[in-house]
Amino acid sequence: MCGIVGCMGCPNGTLETLMDGLGNLEYRGYDSAGVALGPVLETRKRAGELDELRKTVAEEPPTGDFGVGHTRWSTHGPPADRNAHPHTDESGRVAVVHNGIIENYQRIRDELEAEGVTFTSETDTEVVPHLIARELESGSDATNGDGGCSPADAFHAVVDRLEGSYALCVVVDGHEAIFAARQGSPLVMGVDERATYLASDVPAFIERTRDVVFLEDGQRVELRPDDWTVMDADRSPVEVSVETVEYTAEATGKSGYDHYMLKEINEQPDALRQCLSGRLDELDGTIEIEELSDLEEPTSVQIVACGTSYHAAVYAATLLRGAGVPAAAHLASEYATAPAPLGKGTLVIGVTQSGETADTLAALREARARGARTLAVTNQVNSTAARECDDVVYIRAGPEIGVAATKTFSSQLMATLLLTEDLVGLAEDLDPLIEALRDLPGAIQTVLDTTDAREVAAEIADSDAYFFIGRDRQFPVALEGALKCKEISYEHAEGFAAGELKHGPLALVTPATPVFAIVTGDGERARKTIGNIKEVEARDAPVVAVTDGRSEAERYADLVLEIPETHPLTAPVLTNVQLQLVSYHLANDLGRPIDKPRNLAKSVTVE
Domain stop point among 256, 276, 304: 256
* Cβ 421 vs Cβ 415: under 8 Å: no
Specify whether 144 is located in the same domain as 19: yes
Strands 220-223 and 543-547: unpaired
Q: Given a cut of 60, is residue 305 above it in pLDDT?
A: yes
- Does 100 or 564 have the greater pLDDT score? 564
Instruction: Answer whether residue 415 is part of any domain.
Output: yes
Nearest to 448 by CA among 577, 554, 566: 577
pTM of the model: 0.68
Q: Given a cut of 60, is residue 335 above it in pLDDT?
A: yes
Specify whether 533 is located in the same domain as 429: no
Q: Return the bridge partners of 88, or none.
A: 95
Q: What is the CA radius of gyration of the chain?
A: 25
Per-residue model confidence (pLDDT) at position 387: 81
Q: What is the pLDDT of residues 578-600, one digit of tens each?
A: 999 999 999 999 999 898 787 77
The helices-and-strands tally (H runs, E runs) of the chain is 18, 26
Specify whether 7 is located in the same domain as 39: yes
Q: What is the pLDDT of residues 284-297, one digit of tens each?
A: 888 999 888 889 89
Specify whether 417 is located in the same domain as 334: yes
Per-residue model confidence (pLDDT) at position 207: 84
Confidence class of residue 250 from pLDDT cuts 50, 70 and 90? very low
Of all residues in the chain, the percent with pLDDT exceeding 70 is: 94
Strands 391-394 and 373-378: parallel
Of all residues in the chain, the percent with pLDDT exceeding 90 is: 66
Specify whether 417 is located in the same domain as 502: no
Bond prior to 476 in cis (omega within 30° of 0): no
Question: Which CATH number does the domain housing residue 353 bear?
Answer: 3.40.50.10490
Q: Residue 45: which region, alpha, beta or left (left: phi > 0; alpha: psi -120 to 50)? A: beta
User: Exposure of 606 by Cβ count < 10 A (0-12 exposed, 13-18 middle, 19+ buried)?
Assistant: exposed
Q: What is the pLDDT of residues 30-42, one digit of tens each?
A: 788 999 999 999 9
3-state class (DSSP) for residue 385:
helix
* Other Cβ atoms closer than 10 A to 290: 9
Of the listed ranges 6-15, 323-332, 471-480, the least confidently predicted one is 6-15
Specify whether 333 is located in the same domain as 416: yes
Q: What is the mean pLDDT of the chain?
A: 90
For 260, residues 6+ apart whose C-beta sits below 8 A from its C-beta are 253, 254, 400, 401, 402, 595
Cα gap 65→195, rounded to integer Å: 11
Instruction: Answer whether residue 442 is part of any domain.
Output: no
Sheet holding 228-231, edge to edge: 87-88, 94-102, 164-172, 178-183, 220-223, 228-231
Q: What is the pLDDT of residues 469-515, one digit of tens each?
A: 999 999 999 999 999 999 999 999 999 999 998 899 888 899 999 99
Specify whether 9 is located in the same domain as 48: yes
Confidence class of residue 540 from pLDDT cuts 50, 70 and 90? confident
Instruction: Answer whether residue 419 is part of any domain.
Output: yes
3-state class (DSSP) for residue 224:
coil
Number of domains in the chain: 3
Specify whether 567 is located in the same domain as 528: yes
Confidence class of residue 139 from pLDDT cuts 50, 70 and 90? low
Strands 346-352 and 373-378: parallel
Confidence class of residue 570 from pLDDT cuts 50, 70 and 90? very high
Question: Which CATH number does the domain housing residue 88 bear?
Answer: 3.60.20.10
Domain stop point among 238, 256, 274: 256
Domain range spanning residue 45? 3-256
Cα gap 260→305, rounded to integer Å: 24
* Cβ 495 vs Cβ 481: under 8 Å: yes
Specify whether 297 is located in the same domain as 186: no
Specify whether 466 is located in the same domain as 422: no
Q: Which amino acid is at 65?
A: D
Instruction: Answer whether residue 592 is part of any domain.
Output: yes
Instruction: Answer whether residue 409 is part of any domain.
Output: yes
Q: What is the pLDDT of residues 178-203, one digit of tens each?
A: 999 998 777 889 999 889 999 987 87
Q: Given a cut of 90, is residue 148 above it in pLDDT?
A: no
Instruction: Answer whether residue 350 is part of any domain.
Output: yes
Q: Given a cut of 70, is residue 427 above it in pLDDT?
A: yes
Q: Return the bridge partners of 468, or none.
A: 495, 516
Strands 3-8 and 466-470: unpaired
Q: Given a cut of 60, is residue 145 above it in pLDDT?
A: no
Cα gap 270→254, rounded to integer Å: 15
Residue 272's H or E segment, with its range, is helix 268-276
Specify whether 308 is located in the same domain as 281: yes
Confidence class of residue 605 from pLDDT cuts 50, 70 and 90? very low
Catalytic positions, written as ranges: 2, 602
3-state class (DSSP) for residue 348:
strand
Give, in degrees to the nearest 5, the angle at Cα 133 between 93 and 227: 70
Confidence class of residue 606 from pLDDT cuts 50, 70 and 90? very low
Mean pLDDT of 432-451: 95
Specify whether 393 is located in the same domain as 524: no
Nearest to 578 by CA among 496, 489, 468: 468
- Between the ranges 251-255, 366-370, 402-406, where is the mean pLDDT highest? 366-370
* Cβ 160 vs Cβ 228: under 8 Å: no
Cα gap 258→577, rounded to integer Å: 18
Residue 280's H or E segment, with its range, is strand 280-281
* Other Cβ atoms closer than 10 A to 565: 13
